[in-house]
Amino acid sequence: MNSNVEVSTEFTLPATLPAGTYQLMAVANGIASDPVPFTIPLTARIITSFNFDGGNALFNCANGLAGRTYFLLTSTEIPATPWNIIATNFLQTNGPFTIGASNIVTFDELQRYFTVRAQ
């Protein structure tokens, strides 16, 4: 066998693989490739509810993925130019999470938009 020949393979991940970050390595003849990180699934985060208390905002979200940072962004216009980051939350575990900001809501505004993004 010539070790200078490039080869490839295909595989399918199990449908029941839990959300998370993994390292993929191919092993042939006991020799492992360098690990390649990947995250599965890339599920959309969902704002399930929000509360305003005075000028504070608290958002409850679903589908958080461990190892990701989530940003709460706001704007007074749509399309937003730009979205302003007002809070962050780094997740240690998968699943629901909250993210909030203090003194962000002023009741003299006619409108304010919020979104949650992941990185």
Q: Is residue 34 part of a domain?
A: no
| pLDDT digits 0-9 by tens, 18-41 | 767 788 888 888 989 899 887 775
| pLDDT digits 0-9 by tens, 62-82 | 888 888 899 999 998 888 778
Mean pLDDT over all residues of the chain?
84
Total number of domains in the chain: 1
Question: Which residues have a Cβ under 8 Å from the Cβ of 76 and sit 6 or more positions away?
Answer: 109, 111, 112, 113
> What tokens does 49 get?
């509810």
pTM equals 0.61
Q: Is residue 18 part of a domain?
A: no
Once rounded to an integer, what is the mean pLDDT over residues 38-54? 79
Q: Is residue 1 part of a domain?
A: no
